[in-house]
A and B are shown apart, each in its own frame.
Chain A
Amino acid sequence: MGEKLLMKGNEALAEGAVRAGCRFFAGYPITPQNEIPEYLSWRLPEVGGTFIQAESEVAAINMLFGASACGARVMTSSSGPGISLKQEGISYISGANLPIFYANVMRGGPGLGNIAPAQGDYFQATRGGGHGDYRVIVLAPNSVSEMGNFPKRCYDLAEKYRIATMVLTDGLLGQMMEPIEFDFEAVEPSKLPEKEWALGNAEGRERRVIRSYDLKPGYLEKMTLKLEEKYKKIEEKEVGYETVQVEDAEVLLVAYGTSSRISKEAMILGRKEGIKIGFLRPITLWPFPTKVLSQLSERIKKILTVEMSLGQLVEDVRLAVEGKAKVYLHGRPSGGIPTGEEVLEVVKSIMKD
């Protein structure tokens, strides 16, 4: 805490995780996130932790399943194609109520796509991603500083609710350098309270079982309804967002991550020209800031969603707005990055609509 560092986004994320108490990482190489495993391959042993380069993404997420079940603070990271492979394990981890933290440093898709920054994995992240009825807490940083500080928030949430948490970021935030200050005291994992559900040394207690199945008729429904109770609590209490100059706004820009920085720039440029632009950035993509957006749409009648994907975030915006305002989309997929000027042009055309 306190000292200012200059770091690459991916390295900040890795260092932030270690400072937040991460002591187990398993992953598989993929661009543009390779700095994360490379950094942790020496940093984790330094603090007595474990780094494993797994044979596949599938194996990596299942190593997390085991390590988390034994009570460790665990992490994996990847980019879109690898996150797709991890979905099986994330579904099991969610069904088994285990806390994990992972990061998706998004690249262009679908398929092998490219290695340029993109935001095409929004649906995958916010809809669960794997099979079954479950949710994952999704945090979207928009600076290197947040890349480094969000892992701590993720672990706190993951353990508070026994849920999978993720940072959804992209190649641009992962690769760029910015100053960062860690805003929390380093966590010593051995000093954390013991997890009363973790497997391991069973001396003096009953045996414990961790599983995501129940074949007795009606039981799985009860298990899943219990998950829903937890999700409702999270939707009530853990929503995070940032608003700028919404008070007098006639047009509202909604964007997260990299595209939120571009949108903010468009807002500043527009304000200089006297255009009343407001700005809303969801920091948690799930739970989504539905309430605030619904309230703002009572007054602001034009909303523009800016995303580096072809209309994914815009669906959540429309669901929140429920027809009370007109919702527009400016989407650039598969590695296309909009500029502030470009977004401002779109705002101007909307004003005329």
Chain B
Amino acid sequence: MEKKVFERTKGLTEILMRYCPGCGHGVIHRLVAEVIEELGIRKRTIGIAPVGCSVFADEYFNCDMIQPAHGRGPAVATGMKRVKPDCIVFSYQGDGDLASIGMAETIHSAARGERITIIFVNNAIYGMTGGQMAPTTLIGMKSTTTPFGRDPRVAGYPIKICELLSSLEAPAYLARVSVHKPALVLKAKKAIKKAFQVQMDDLGFSLVEIISPCPTDWFVTPLQAIDYVEKKMIPYFPLGEFKTPEGKKEPLKAETQKVVEKV
């Protein structure tokens, strides 16, 4: 008897992905899709595709999908979750989308404690437009708009999203993971699952930042890209959980009454 040890997850469609060799999106898509399937929520999950390389996520994830404007995912997710509280809503975004043009939507949806899940892929570059500087591009890193390397006096410093959002009251789960090594891929999946679980338990906002290689726009080979993640990106963007739902078993409650009494 042959035993099936590996199969395609139902969380993905059968459309072939068009990501570059060595890109992290394929792995991350698969992890998210597996989590959705394993949690048994595929038929009530709505995904939001970003603008960027993963704009095609709306073809790849095998659930209801929407494709809004650059950076607006968390606002769209807010609207969806508020009118469909029983649905699971996730927004898949890159660094330009989430940490640059959509920074306001990111911070405010987190501050409001929207019951949504954000999958934030940080590859330190604008991929689809051809390798321009991103808000997470490292100091000294070359891009098509920092041809001599990112100079902090001109272009400032890369933004650490998990650390930034940690200062807020409402987020229930914030974690940074990486997919450049098999062992870390498994850890990444655990974090993604936890983030979705937090939403299912109605505990609040959850975001997983995933460090991902982009050999094409870093102008290196896939192996060199993995090396770059290990030696340059991880030291600046340390992995780990920044906020966990432990001790936060109750959903946020309205405190309007109290405030009125105090006044």
Contacts and interface: CB of A to CB of B under 8 A. Distances in A.
A150 interface: no
Given A24-B83, A63-B76, A200-B44, A55 B69 contact: no
B198 to A, nearest CB: 20
A201 B65 contact: no
B82 A199 contact: no
Nearest to A26: B79
B21 interface: no
Contacts of A207: 13, 62-65
Nearest to B77: A66
Contact of A59 (B13, B65, B66, B108): B108
Interface string B48-62: 110000010011001
Contacts of B67: 209-213
Given A58-B72, A200-B46, A209 B79 contact: no
A209 B47 CA distance: 9
B44 A202 contact: yes
Nearest to A211: B67
B69 A62 contact: yes
A204 to B, nearest CB: 8
B84 interface: yes
B208 to A, nearest CB: 21
Interface centre among B49, B62, B82 (most CB of A within 10 A): B82
B78 interface: yes
A70 interface: yes
A316 interface: no
A67 B82 CA distance: 8
A208 interface: yes
A52 B58 CA distance: 27
A63 B84 contact: no
A201 B86 contact: yes
Contacts of A201: 43-44, 84, 86-87
B84 A200 contact: yes
B105 interface: yes
A69 interface: yes
A62 B72 contact: yes
A293 interface: no
B104 A92 contact: no
A55 B129 CA distance: 28
Contacts of B65: 199, 207-211
A74 B84 CA distance: 13
Interface string A186-200: 000000000000011
Interface centre among A26, A68, A70 (most CB of B within 10 A): A70
Contacts of A63: 75-76, 78-79, 82
B68 interface: yes
B79 A70 contact: yes
Interface string B89-114: 00000000000000011011000000
A66 B75 contact: yes
Interface in A162-205: 199-203
B79 A67 contact: yes
A202 B63 contact: yes
A70 B77 CA distance: 10
A168 B1 CA distance: 71
A54 B83 contact: no
A69 B87 CA distance: 13
B58 A62 contact: no
A36 B64 CA distance: 33
A23 B75 CA distance: 17
Nearest to B59: A209
Contact of B87 (A64, A200, A208, A213): A200
A72 interface: yes
Interface of A: 23-24, 26, 50, 52, 54-56, 58-60, 62-72, 74, 88-89, 92, 96, 199-203, 207-213
15 contacts: A55-B104, A55-B108, A59-B78, A62-B105, A63-B79, A65-B68, A65-B75, A66-B76, A67-B83, A68-B79, A69-B79, A202-B43, A209-B64, A211-B58, A211-B66
The 8 closest A-B pairs by CB, nearest first: A66-B79, A67-B79, A62-B75, A66-B76, A63-B79, A211-B67, A55-B108, A62-B72
Given A65-B66, A199-B80, 14 more contacts: A26-B79, A58-B75, A59-B75, A63-B76, A65-B75, A68-B79, A70-B84, A200-B64, A201-B44, A201-B86, A209-B66, A210-B66, A211-B49, A211-B65
